[in-house]
Structure 1
Amino acid sequence: MKKLLFGISIFICTVSSAQNFKYPFQNPNLPVENRIENLLGLLTVDEKIGMMMDNSKAVPRLDIPGYGWWNEALHGVARAGTATVFPQAIGMAATWDVPEHLKTFEMISDEARAKYNKSFDESQKTGRYEGLTFWTPNINIFRDPRWGRGQETYGEDPYLTSVLGVAAVKGLQGNDPKYFKTHACAKHFAVHSGPEWNRHSYNAEVSKRDLYETYLPAFKALVLEGNVREVMCAYNAFDGQPCCANNTLLTEILRGKWNYDGMVVSDCWALADFYQKQYHGTHPDEKTTAADALKHSTDLECGDTYNNLNKSLASGLITEKDLDISMRRILKGWFELGMLDPKSSVHWNSIPYSVVDSEEHKKQALKMAQKSIVLMKNEKKVLPLNKNIKKIAVVGPNADDGLMQLGNYNGTPSSIVTILDGIKTKFPNAEIIYEKGTEVADPSSRASLYQNFLSQKKGEKGMKVAFFNNNEFKGEPANISVNKAGINYNSFGGTQLAPNVGRENTSAIISGVFKSPYTGDVILSPSTSDVYTLFVDGKEIATRKGPDARHPSEFPLKMEKGKEYQIELRHTQKGKYVSITFDIYRKDPVNFTAVREKVKDADVIVFAGGLSPSLEGEEMMVNAEGFKGGDKTSIELPKVQRELLAELHKTGKPVVFVLCTGSSLGLEQDEKNYDALLNAWYGGQAGGTAVADVLAGDYNPSGRLPVTFYKNLEQLDSNLSKTSKHEGFENYDMQGRTYRYMTEKPLYAFGHGLSYSKFIYGNAQLSKNTINTNENLSITVPVTNTSGRDGEEVIQVYVKRNNDPAAPVKNLRAFERLLIKAGETKNIQLTISEDSFKFYDEKADDLVSKSGNYTIFYGGTSDDSGLKSIPIKVN
Structure 2
Amino acid sequence: MAITMPSSLLPFLPLLQLTIILSISTMPQVRPQEAPAPGPPFACDLSKNPSLNGLKFCDPSADSAARVADLVGRLTLDEKIGWLTSGAAQVPRLGIPKYEWWSEALHGVSSTGPGTKFLSPVPAATSFPQVILTAATFNESLFHAIAQVVSTEARAMYNVALSGLTFWSPNVNIFRDPRWGRGQETPGEDPLLSSKYAVAYVRGLQQRDDDSGDHYKLKVAACCKHYTAYDLDNWKGNLRYTFNAIVSQQDLIDTYQPPFRSCVEQGNVASVMCSYNQVNGKPTCGDRELLDGVIRGQWGLDGYIVSDCDSLEEMFNRQKFTKTAEETAALAVNSGLDLNCGSFLVKNARAAVNRGLLNESAVDRAVSNNLATMMRLGFFDGDPRRQIYGSLGPNDVCTKANRGLAREAARQGIVLLKNTEGSLPLSPAAITSLAVVGPNANATVAMIGNYAGTPCKYVTPLQGLTASVPTVYHPGCADVFCAIADVDGAKNVIAGADAVILVVGSNQSIEGEGLDRVDLTLPGQQQTLVSEVARASRGPVILVIMSGGGMDVQFAKDDPKVTSILWVGFPGEVGGAAIADVVFGHHNPSGKLPMTWYPQSYVNQVQMTDMNMRPDPARGYPGRTYRFYTGPVVFPFGHGLSYTEFDHRLVTAPVHVSLPLDENHECRRGLSTSCKSIDAAEESCNGLDFDVHLSVKNVGSRTGGHTVMLFSSPPDDVDGGAPTRQLVGFRKMELGPKDEEIVEFKVDVCRHLSAVDENGNRKVVLGQHLLHVGTLTHSFNVHI
- Shared fold, TM over 0.5: yes
What per-residue deviation string (whole Å, max 9, x for no partner) do you get for residues 9-31 of structure 1?
Answer: xxxxxxxxx99724111101110
The answer to whether the aligner puts 1:747 opposite 2:611 as a matched pair is: no
**Partner of 2:648 in structure 1?**
761
The within-5 A match list for 1:409-488 is: 409-427=451-469, 430=470, 432-444=471-483
Looking at structure 2, the residues matched to 144 and 133 of structure 1 have their Cα atoms a distance apart, in angstroms, of: 30
The answer to whether the aligner puts 1:784 opposite 2:700 as a matched pair is: no
Looking at structure 1, the residues matched to 593 and 375 of structure 2 have their Cα atoms a distance apart, in angstroms, of: 41
Change in CA separation of 1:842 and 1:754 when aligned onto 2, cut-off 3 Å: closer
Residue pair 1:265, 1:301 contacting (<8 A) in 2 also: yes
Which residue of the other structure, out of 151, 160, 174, is the alignment partner of 2:184?
151
The answer to whether the aligner puts 1:675 opposite 2:563 as a matched pair is: yes
Q: Letter of the aligned partner of 2:56 in structure 1?
A: P
**Partner of 1:510 in structure 2?**
none
Corresponding residue SS for 1:608: strand
The within-5 A match list for 1:841-852 is: 841=757, 845-852=760-767
Residue pair 2:765, 2:782 contacting (<8 A) in 1 also: no
Looking at structure 2, the residues matched to 20 and 286 of structure 1 have their Cα atoms a distance apart, in angstroms, of: 37
Looking at structure 2, the residues matched to 182 and 442 of structure 1 have their Cα atoms a distance apart, in angstroms, of: 39
Looking at structure 2, the residues matched to 590 and 110 of structure 1 have their Cα atoms a distance apart, in angstroms, of: 44
Which residue of the other structure, out of 708, 718, 723, is the alignment partner of 1:804?
718
Residue pair 1:858, 1:869 contacting (<8 A) in 2 also: no
The answer to whether the aligner puts 1:687 opposite 2:594 as a matched pair is: no
What per-residue deviation string (whole Å, max 9, x for no partner) do you get for residues 759-804 of structure 1?
Answer: 1112342156314343122111111111111111100001122142
1:189, CA displacement in angstroms?
0.3
Q: Letter of the aligned partner of 1:664 in structure 2?
A: G
Corresponding residue SS for 2:188: coil
Gaps of at least 5 residues in structure 2 are 1-49, 112-116, 119-123, 615-622, 660-684
Q: Letter of the aligned partner of 1:729 in structure 2?
A: M
Residue pair 1:54, 1:301 contacting (<8 A) in 2 also: yes
The answer to whether the aligner puts 1:161 opposite 2:74 as a matched pair is: no
Which residue of the other structure, out of 331, 337, 355, is the alignment partner of 1:298?
337
1:717, CA displacement in angstroms?
5.0
Change in CA separation of 1:874 and 1:106 when aligned onto 2, cut-off 3 Å: farther
**Partner of 2:756 in structure 1?**
840
**Partner of 1:321 in structure 2?**
361
The answer to whether the aligner puts 1:665 opposite 2:703 as a matched pair is: no
Which residue of the other structure, out of 52, 58, 68, is the alignment partner of 1:26?
58
Looking at structure 1, the residues matched to 273 and 294 of structure 2 have their Cα atoms a distance apart, in angstroms, of: 14
What per-residue deviation string (whole Å, max 9, x for no partner) do you get for residues 230-280 of structure 1?
Answer: 00000000111111011332133222222323210000001111121xx21
Looking at structure 1, the residues matched to 136 and 758 of structure 2 have their Cα atoms a distance apart, in angstroms, of: 35
Residue pair 2:699, 2:738 contacting (<8 A) in 1 also: yes
What per-residue deviation string (whole Å, max 9, x for no partner) do you get for residues 18-68 of structure 1?
Answer: 997241111011100100111011000000011110000010110111100
**Partner of 1:869 in structure 2?**
778
**Partner of 1:487 in structure 2?**
none
1:418, CA displacement in angstroms?
0.2
**Partner of 1:794 in structure 2?**
707
Change in CA separation of 1:169 and 1:768 when aligned onto 2, cut-off 3 Å: farther
Structure with higher Rg: it is 1
1:109, CA displacement in angstroms?
0.3
Looking at structure 1, the residues matched to 563 and 580 of structure 2 have their Cα atoms a distance apart, in angstroms, of: 17
**Partner of 2:505 in structure 1?**
610
The answer to whether the aligner puts 1:48 opposite 2:90 as a matched pair is: no
The within-5 A match list for 1:347-358 is: 347-358=388-399
1:832, CA displacement in angstroms?
1.8
Residue pair 1:212, 1:840 contacting (<8 A) in 2 also: yes
Looking at structure 2, the residues matched to 670 and 280 of structure 1 have their Cα atoms a distance apart, in angstroms, of: 44
1:853, CA displacement in angstroms?
3.1
Residue pair 1:440, 1:611 contacting (<8 A) in 2 also: no
Corresponding residue SS for 2:407: helix
Q: Which moved more, 1:757-766 or 1:638-647?
A: 757-766
Looking at structure 1, the residues matched to 479 and 601 of structure 2 have their Cα atoms a distance apart, in angstroms, of: 23
What per-residue deviation string (whole Å, max 9, x for no partner) do you get for residues 402-458 of structure 1?
Answer: 11111110011221100000001022xx3x1100110344334xxxxxxxxxxxxxx
Q: Letter of the aligned partner of 2:738 in structure 1?
A: G
Looking at structure 2, the residues matched to 634 and 370 of structure 1 have their Cα atoms a distance apart, in angstroms, of: 28
**Partner of 1:362 in structure 2?**
403
Looking at structure 1, the residues matched to 68 and 658 of structure 2 have their Cα atoms a distance apart, in angstroms, of: 47
Aligned length: 675
Looking at structure 2, the residues matched to 110 and 677 of structure 1 have their Cα atoms a distance apart, in angstroms, of: 36
1:107, CA displacement in angstroms?
0.6
Which residue of the other structure, out of 151, 154, 171, is the alignment partner of 1:112?
154
What per-residue deviation string (whole Å, max 9, x for no partner) do you get for residues 723-745 of structure 1?
Answer: xxxxx111111121111002334
Looking at structure 2, the residues matched to 318 and 343 of structure 1 have their Cα atoms a distance apart, in angstroms, of: 36
Looking at structure 2, the residues matched to 746 and 874 of structure 1 have their Cα atoms a distance apart, in angstroms, of: 35
Residue pair 1:184, 1:230 contacting (<8 A) in 2 also: yes
Change in CA separation of 1:369 and 1:349 when aligned onto 2, cut-off 3 Å: same
Change in CA separation of 1:413 and 1:195 when aligned onto 2, cut-off 3 Å: closer
1:871, CA displacement in angstroms?
2.4
**Partner of 2:517 in structure 1?**
632
Residue pair 2:710, 2:772 contacting (<8 A) in 1 also: yes
Q: Letter of the aligned partner of 1:250 in structure 2?
A: L
Corresponding residue SS for 2:160: helix
Looking at structure 2, the residues matched to 375 and 113 of structure 1 have their Cα atoms a distance apart, in angstroms, of: 36
Q: Letter of the aligned partner of 1:591 in structure 2?
A: D
Change in CA separation of 1:322 and 1:817 when aligned onto 2, cut-off 3 Å: same
Looking at structure 2, the residues matched to 85 and 151 of structure 1 have their Cα atoms a distance apart, in angstroms, of: 15
Which residue of the other structure, out of 339, 346, 349, is the alignment partner of 2:387?
346
What per-residue deviation string (whole Å, max 9, x for no partner) do you get for residues 169-207 of structure 1?
Answer: 000001451420001101000000013351011000111
Which residue of the other structure, out of 727, 735, 740, is the alignment partner of 1:825?
740
Corresponding residue SS for 2:295: helix
Corresponding residue SS for 1:148: coil
What per-residue deviation string (whole Å, max 9, x for no partner) do you get for residues 656-692 of structure 1?
Answer: 0011011111111333262110111111111000000
1:706, CA displacement in angstroms?
0.3
Change in CA separation of 1:418 and 1:770 when aligned onto 2, cut-off 3 Å: same
Q: Letter of the aligned partner of 2:567 in structure 1?
A: N
**Partner of 2:276 in structure 1?**
235
1:615, CA displacement in angstroms?
2.2
1:870, CA displacement in angstroms?
2.9
Looking at structure 2, the residues matched to 19 and 44 of structure 1 have their Cα atoms a distance apart, in angstroms, of: 19
Looking at structure 2, the residues matched to 856 and 440 of structure 1 have their Cα atoms a distance apart, in angstroms, of: 46
Residue pair 1:440, 1:641 contacting (<8 A) in 2 also: no
Gaps of at least 5 residues in structure 1 are 1-17, 120-128, 445-588, 620-629, 721-727, 860-865
1:149, CA displacement in angstroms?
0.3
- Please provide the CA RMSD for this pair: 1.9
Residue pair 1:195, 1:730 contacting (<8 A) in 2 also: no
Residue pair 1:440, 1:612 contacting (<8 A) in 2 also: no
Q: Letter of the aligned partner of 1:779 in structure 2?
A: V
**Partner of 1:540 in structure 2?**
none
Looking at structure 2, the residues matched to 786 and 609 of structure 1 have their Cα atoms a distance apart, in angstroms, of: 33
1:618, CA displacement in angstroms?
0.7
Q: Which moved more, 1:35-44 or 1:819-828?
A: 819-828
Q: Larger strand proportion, structure 1 or 2?
A: 1
**Partner of 1:285 in structure 2?**
324
Residue pair 2:127, 2:456 contacting (<8 A) in 1 also: no
Looking at structure 2, the residues matched to 407 and 159 of structure 1 have their Cα atoms a distance apart, in angstroms, of: 24
**Partner of 1:467 in structure 2?**
none
